[in-house]
């Protein structure tokens, strides 16, 4: 299991009283689905993990039979793999890289998936004032090398890379479903949004197969559909630094994404630099910081978590308040972690003492 996955400690807890009674009556493993007073086939919980997009994806779903579960897993994971082939910046043959090869030329007609992700990328770039910007890839590359070599990016290279950055250089043609990258040498990095889109799509594929209750975890970013049968929501542990109090959310039909530098960072001259870069300055984000955002679309949660990581903690909170966004920022202040939450995030916290006690007991074991 990946450290991210382990940290996210997916827990579906018997949450509503009704759920608890049902589960006790049925011996814990099964939950009865009732339709207009008539019992239908009981739904069982199934779980499967596969490696995709450089991380582990785990799907938990409720299905009437093992056969139904197996074919649902197959279809959902196949969609994630398909999206990796489209959105990956590592794979030279990805549709994204084929588009980048056309930078500086005319518009290119792209797949619906790539168009949707780029459209949302530009929207989030606009509302975040360029804190999220998928054209940042040339700069991200220099910082990736800086992490490996443990020294600052070369200033001349950084200057040249910064000239290629700017979401206004992406032109979208919705009627033709075409995209133009205006400047030669431009590169797009969907690492801050693509995984979120894959989570949305996996949930969508499962819904189209009649799977109502599902959870999809992509390396700690999680999308959920309807709660497990008889329960009020999925209880999700938000990834947090080990020294902080665990945070549990009660979620249904939504997603939570976390951006942070827990694993990928470099310390230069005593300052810790994250793998997230401020596209406006070309400098990597400083200091340990972890931002979680809840949004009905995982793609948007993913992008906004990256954007808010670029803002300082106070600005991130102000942005979340202004947009009525559920966000949590964990940042180091005076050698300790401070946890800041927007009111919309606060409302999603699990407050059931009984559930919290149960969670504590299960993690102590």
275 binds, among ligand ADP, Mg ion, none (CB under 5 to 8 A by kind): ligand ADP
Q: Which one among 306, 320, 355, 359 touches ligand ADP, defined by CB under 6 A? A: 306
Q: Which one among 277, 308, 317, 327 touches ligand ADP, defined by CB under 6 A? A: 277
- Give one DSSP letter per residue of 153-171, joined into a string: PPHHHHHHHHTT--GGGEE
The Cβ of residue 135 has, within 10 Å, a number of other Cβ atoms equal to: 25
310 binds, among ligand ADP, Mg ion, none (CB under 5 to 8 A by kind): ligand ADP
Interacting residue ranges for Mg ion, rule: CB under 5 A: 192, 259, 302, 305-306
Q: Binding of ligand ADP at residue 276 (CB under 6 A)?
A: yes
Identify which of residues 42 and 241 has a Cβ nearer to ligand ADP in the complex.
241
| CB closest to ligand ADP, residue no | 191
Residue 44: which residues within 8 A CB-CB, separation 6 or more? Answer: 29, 30, 62, 63, 64, 65, 66, 69
Distance CA 70, CA 79 (A): 14
- Give one DSSP letter per residue of 284-349, joined into a string: EEES-EEEEEEESSHHHHHHHHHHHHHS-HHHHHHHHHHTT-EEEEEEEETTEEEEEE-HHHHTTB
Helix, strand, or coil (residue 76): helix
Q: Binding of ligand ADP at residue 302 (CB under 6 A)?
A: yes
How many residues touch ligand ADP under the rule CB under 6 A: the total is 17
Cβ(255)–Cβ(200) under 8 Å?
A: yes
x/- letters, 138..177, toward ligand ADP (CB under 6 A)? --x-------------------------------------
Q: Binding of ligand ADP at residue 186 (CB under 6 A)?
A: no
- Least distance in angstroms from the C-beta of 233 to Mg ion: 23
**148, containing H or E segment:** helix 137-149
Identify which of residues 3 and 184 has a Cβ nearer to ligand ADP in the complex.
3
Q: Binding of ligand ADP at residue 259 (CB under 6 A)?
A: yes
Task: Summarize as ranges the residues that interact with ligand ADP (CB under 6 A).
Answer: 132-134, 136, 140, 189, 191-192, 259, 275-277, 279, 302, 305-306, 310
């Amino acid at each position: 299991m990946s450290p991210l996955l382990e940290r996210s400690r997916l827990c579906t807890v018997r949450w509503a009283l009704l759920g608890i009674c049902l589960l006790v009556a049925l011996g814990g493993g099964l939950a009865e689905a009732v339709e207009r007073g008539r019992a239908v086939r009981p739904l069982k919980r199934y779980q499967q993990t596969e490696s995709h997009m450089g991380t582990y994806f785990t799907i938990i779903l409720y299905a009437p039979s093992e056969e139904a579960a197996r074919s649902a897993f197959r279809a959902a994971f196949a969609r994630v793999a398909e999206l990796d082939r489209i959105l990956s910046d590592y794979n030279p043959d990805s549709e994204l890289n084929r588009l980048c090869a056309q930078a500086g030329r005319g518009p290119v007609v792209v797949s619906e998936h790539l168009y949707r992700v780029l459209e949302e990328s530009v929207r989030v770039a606009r509302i975040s004032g360029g804190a999220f910007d998928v054209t940042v890839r040339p700069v991200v590359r220099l910082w990736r090398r800086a992490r490996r070599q443990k020294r600052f990016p070369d200033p001349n290279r950084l200057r040249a890379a910064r000239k290629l950055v700017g979401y206004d250089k992406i032109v979208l043609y919705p009627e033709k479903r075409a995209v133009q990258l205006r400047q030669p040498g431009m590169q797009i990095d969907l690492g801050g949004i693509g995984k979120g889109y894959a989570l949305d799509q996996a949930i969508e594929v499962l819904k189209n197969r009649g799977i109502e209750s599902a959870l999809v975890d992509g390396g700690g970013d999680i999308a959920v559909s309807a709660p497990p049968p008889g329960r009020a929501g999925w209880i999700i542990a938000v990834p947090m630094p080990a020294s902080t109090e665990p945070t549990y959310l009660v979620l249904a039909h939504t997603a939570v994404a976390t951006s942070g530098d827990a694993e990928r960072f470099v310390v230069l001259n005593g300052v810790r630099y994250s793998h997230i870069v401020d596209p406006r300055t070309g400098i990597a984000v400083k200091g340990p910081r972890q931002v979680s955002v809840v949004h009905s679309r995982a793609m948007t949660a993913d992008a906004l978590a990256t954007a808010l990581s670029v803002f300082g903690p106070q600005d991130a909170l102000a942005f979340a308040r202004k947009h009525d966004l559920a966000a949590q920022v964990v940042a180091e202040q005076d050698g300790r972690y401070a946890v800041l939450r927007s009111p919309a995030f606060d409302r999603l916290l699990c407050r059931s003492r009984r559930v919290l006690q149960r969670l504590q007991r299960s993690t102590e074991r």
